[in-house]
Amino acid sequence: MDLASVIGFIAALALVAGAIIIGGGNFAAFIDYPSLMVVIGGALAAALISFPLGNFFATIKVAMRVFMYKLDSIPRLIDELVSLAETARRDGLLALESKIGELESPFVVLGIQMAVDGTRPEVMEDILRTEVDAVATRHRDGKAVLDCMGRFAPAFGMIGTLIGLIIMLGDMSDPSKIGQGMAVALLTTLYGAIASNCVFLPFAEKLGFTNKQELLAMEIAIRGIMAIQSGENPRVIEQKLNTFIPPKLRAADDAAA
């Protein structure tokens, strides 16, 4: 579980709730189901219009990565690839087959299995990069749906507010109800702002970040696997792969070793 996402999400809601409490507001006055229907339903409807049905439903699964994503340790991945290189250098590529069951990354398993099977280097790299492109496309589509909902939620909030104002101004027979009607109308704008800035857009940004990290790990894996397949020296492979991480992490990794 990604603690940063959980803490940030709870903190955002807590700040809104705290503002209501400090301001002396009544929580019941901030609940209006028709307003919620307009904002959430409208954002969902806009996303359905903008994207195919399959992309829309796939976003639900992708969005769970915001809370459930576990960032892979790049230094640990490099250590794993260097260890595989040492085994291949000492015992040959076929010896890596016994190591496949110990690998956690399906992507690394795919590459090592192809190397063991004697797949040509150009074919291996083409398959691995096609897999990278497929992952990037899935994540990009999920982020695009959330970005879309983040853009449309405030707009539907404004639409709901206008609907509420029109209804209120259409019946001015009781001036004492004007303030209450105005408050209910403005709630839709509030819901739109909260949905956009506390849910949809932050989720999209986190997906963008996790996508970059996963693609970085996959690029490192490709470089390492191709170097192992070509029989490069494990120390040279380690030096090449370490260029992907900041010097501080390299120093910390060397100290731990």
Question: What is the distance between the alpha carbons of residues 236 and 234, in angstroms, rounded to a whole number?
Answer: 5
Largest CA distance in the chain: 91
Instruction: Take residue 152 and report the two structure tokens written for it.
Output: 């449309």
* C-alpha–C-alpha distance, residues 28 and 195, integer Å: 19
Amino acid 69 reads Y
For residue 39, give the nearest of 229, 193, 246 by alpha carbon.
193
* pLDDT exceeds cutoff 80 at 119: yes
* pLDDT: which is higher, 115 or 58: 115
Output the CA angle 224-226-231, nearest 5 degrees: 95
- The number of CA neighbours under 13 Å toward the Cβ of 50 is 18
pTM over 0.85: no
Taking a C-beta distance cutoff of 8 angstroms, is the pair 55, 145 a contact? yes
| pLDDT for the residue numbered 250 | 60
What pLDDT, on the 0 to 100 scale, is given for residue 43? Answer: 94
34 vs 181, residue with greater confidence: 34
- Is the pLDDT confidence value at 73 over 70? yes
Mean pLDDT in residue range 199-214: 90
Distances (CA, A) of 108 to 51, 105, 115, 129: 32, 5, 11, 12
Average of per-residue pLDDT across 35-40: 91
Quote the CA–CA distance of 141 and 58 in Å, as a whole number.
Answer: 9
The DSSP symbol for 24 reads T
The rounded distance, in Å, linking the Cα atoms of 232 and 158 is 61
Q: Which of 17-21, 44-48, 86-90, 197-201 has the lowest mean pLDDT?
A: 17-21
Residue 184: what pLDDT? Answer: 78
Which pLDDT score, from 0 to 100, does residue 174 have?
72
Q: Is the pLDDT of residue 256 over 80?
A: no
Of the two residues 23 and 218, the one the predictor is more confident about is 218
Alpha carbon distance 206, 191 (integer Å): 21
Write the single-letter amino acid at 37.
M
For 231-245, b/e burial (b = at least 16 CB within 10 A) is ebebeebbeebbebb
Instruction: Give 149-167 pLDDT, tens digit per residue.
Output: 999 999 999 998 998 888 8
| Distances from the Cα of 105 to the Cα of 109, 169, 213, 221, angstroms | 6, 61, 14, 10
230, two tokens: 């070509």
- Measured from the Cβ of residue 126, the count of other Cβ atoms closer than 10 Å reads 12
pLDDT band per the 50, 70, 90 thresholds, residue 249 = low
**85-113 average pLDDT score:** 90
Rounded to an integer, the average pLDDT of 53-80 is: 81
> Could you give the percent of the chain with pLDDT greater than 70?
94
Q: What is the mean pLDDT of the chain?
A: 86
